[in-house]
Amino acid sequence: KQEVTQIPAALSVPEGENLVLNCSFTDSAIYNLQWFRQDPGKGLTSLLLIQSSQREQTSGRLNASLDKSSGRSTLYIAASQPGDSATYLCAVRPMLDNYGQNFVFGPGTRLSVLP
């Protein structure tokens, strides 16, 4: 059974710092991995999706890497801003079939960026 963990559980940094969030998964047989952001009282917003054949994806100040063989992904946030404060979740899509998008989610990292 696929299990996803995230470290740290919470992180507080001053504005402007570069930071790294970590995600680990137990089964390397995945189709893809996705990073989400969740603001309080809101649903999840997709940030980056990395296919199993890819090593990284970039969007603006965000960069996500994937090392499938070691079961790890990192989300790098450059020049953090208070608006980045949220909970960040990673999710992997196990290789169940050719259609399903049923992700297994990690517990999230709660990020606070202080002005």
Q: Which residues make up the interface to another protein (CB under 8 A)?
A: 31-32, 34, 36, 41-46, 49, 51, 89, 91, 93, 98-108
User: Closer CB to another protein, residue 13 or residue 105?
Assistant: 105
CB of 43 to another protein, least distance (A): 3
Task: Return the DSSP state at 58.
Answer: E
Report the distance separating Cα 95 and Cα 18, nearest Å: 33
Report the distance separating Cα 101 and Cα 60, nearest Å: 25
CB of 85 to another protein, least distance (A): 18
> What residues contact residue 37 under an 8 Å CB cut-off, 6+ apart?
44, 45, 47, 86, 87, 88, 89
User: Closer CB to another protein, residue 3 or residue 17?
Assistant: 3
Six token digits for residue 52 = 């199993």
CA–CA distances in Å: residue 46 to residues 31, 49, 70 = 16, 8, 23
User: Closer CB to another protein, residue 45 or residue 70?
Assistant: 45
CB of 37 to another protein, least distance (A): 11
CB of 5 to another protein, least distance (A): 11
